[in-house]
Amino acid sequence: MELRVLEYFLTVAREQSITRAAELLHITQPTMSRQLMQLESEFGKKLFIRGNRKITLTEEGQYLLKRAEEIISLSRRTEDEMKNQINTLSGDIYIGTGESASVRHIIKVAHKIQKEYPDVRFHFTSGDSIDLIDRLDKGLFDFCILYGETDRSKYDYLLLPYKERWGVLMHNQSELAVLDRIKPEYLRDKPLIVSRQMLDSPGYFDWLGAKRENLNIINSYNLAFTGTLMASEQMGYVLTLADLINIEGTELCFKEIDPMLELNISLVWKKHKMKSKIAEKFITEISRLK
């Protein structure tokens, strides 16, 4: 399996046409078709459904699409890092982060480094911890910003000098909107909307004093904006972090948990992974945060 052929595959999947893909890559259509047939033969799987007007991917093709994107991305990153070894501070840093207001401090550090070293580029990707850790393990991220406890057996980390506060986002016509703070017992019989990370980590619900199966969890979300839309539709009470969404002038309100519920924030990277000079510089600057 050659990287060049994977590039062909990705282009055909994106364009849904062998003809257009061949034109974009400046190769002949017969050459493109032959390479794709050899790829299918190599895997022993049918990757494409060839229609009259467009080409679509089979289930196996969809799987290869995801893997091919990861392989090509990692290949390009490796090539860039090898080329930049001769430079003191240049290149790319890839950071996966959950949604929180504290990310602003990380971005300020990135900006400071870029002002001093203009050839450094930062690439931030938002997601929940499940997706972020998966990509960190595959080498697609240099760092992740994670919340809560860190697996010290797999990762090195810096505990940042900030904490995030849990609370409840709701429509201002909701029953609990009249309260200043929300006690856990007030939520036990309410329709709850939680993050996917919460669903995969039962310990998140310990503070409610009830087992997860006894709570009325009606929906889940991946990123907070979707949870905001659910709250706007008065679907339920969204458990989320403070200051993620600007609710000024909207029909929404945010109430903190009483007693206050906080999460630690860590900058995390894989153990035993060789770091570039710019990655080392980034860790040094982050360690100076106060």
Q: What three-state secondary structure class fits 255?
A: strand
Same domain, 9 and 75: yes
Reported confidence tier of residue 204, pLDDT bands at 50, 70, 90? confident
Reported confidence tier of residue 81, pLDDT bands at 50, 70, 90? low
Same domain, 92 and 110: yes
Same domain, 156 and 26: no
Query: 254 has which bridge partners?
Result: 169
Same domain, 178 and 255: yes
Same domain, 169 and 253: yes
Same domain, 248 and 230: yes
The sign of the dihedral angle between the CA atoms of 246, 170, 165, 239 is negative
219 contact partners, CB below 8 Å, separation of at least 6: 193, 194, 230, 235, 236
Cα angle, residue 154 at apex, residues 110 and 64 outer, rounded to 5°: 80
Boundary of a domain, candidates 80, 110, 137: 80
- Give, for 61, the enclosing helix (H) or strand (E): helix 59-84
Separation between Cα atoms, residue 208 and residue 188, nearest integer Å: 7
Query: 187 has which bridge partners?
Result: none
Same domain, 198 and 278: no
128 burial class (0-12, 13-18, 19+ CB within 10 angstroms)?
Answer: buried
243: domain CATH number is: 3.40.190.10
Instruction: Please report the pLDDT score of residue 159 as a whole number.
Output: 92
- Name the domain count of the chain: 3
Same domain, 33 and 156: no
Domain of residue 178 covers 165-261
202 burial class (0-12, 13-18, 19+ CB within 10 angstroms)?
Answer: exposed
Residue 78: Cβ within 10 Å count: 11
Q: Mean of the pLDDT values across residues 130-156?
A: 87
Question: What's the pLDDT tens digit per position in 10-46?
Answer: 888 888 888 888 888 888 888 888 888 888 888 888 8
- Give, for 124, the enclosing helix (H) or strand (E): strand 120-126
Query: 240 has which bridge partners?
Result: 167
Question: What's the pLDDT tens digit per position in 99-114?
Answer: 888 899 999 999 999 9
Instruction: Please report the pLDDT score of residue 254 as a whole number.
Output: 96
Same domain, 268 and 140: yes
Boundary of a domain, candidates 63, 80, 97: 80
Q: Mean of the pLDDT values across residues 210-221?
A: 91
Q: Mean of the pLDDT values across residues 141-148?
A: 90
CB 56 within 8 A of CB 16: yes
Question: What's the pLDDT tens digit per position in 264-290?
Answer: 999 999 987 777 888 999 999 999 988
Instruction: Please report the pLDDT score of residue 82 as a whole number.
Output: 67
- The values of phi and psi at residue 231, to 5°, are -65, -40
Same domain, 110 and 23: no
Same domain, 239 and 155: no
Same domain, 143 and 184: no
- Percent of the chain scoring above 90 in pLDDT: 41
Separation between Cα atoms, residue 246 and residue 267, nearest integer Å: 25
Instruction: Please report the pLDDT score of residue 10 as a whole number.
Output: 87
Separation between Cα atoms, residue 99 and residue 247, nearest integer Å: 16
Instruction: Please report the pLDDT score of residue 156 as a whole number.
Output: 92
Boundary of a domain, candidates 46, 63, 80: 80
Reported confidence tier of residue 84, pLDDT bands at 50, 70, 90? low
Separation between Cα atoms, residue 237 and residue 188, nearest integer Å: 11
Whether residue 87 is predicted with pLDDT greater than 60 in this model: the reply is no
Structure token pair of residue 92? 């790319």
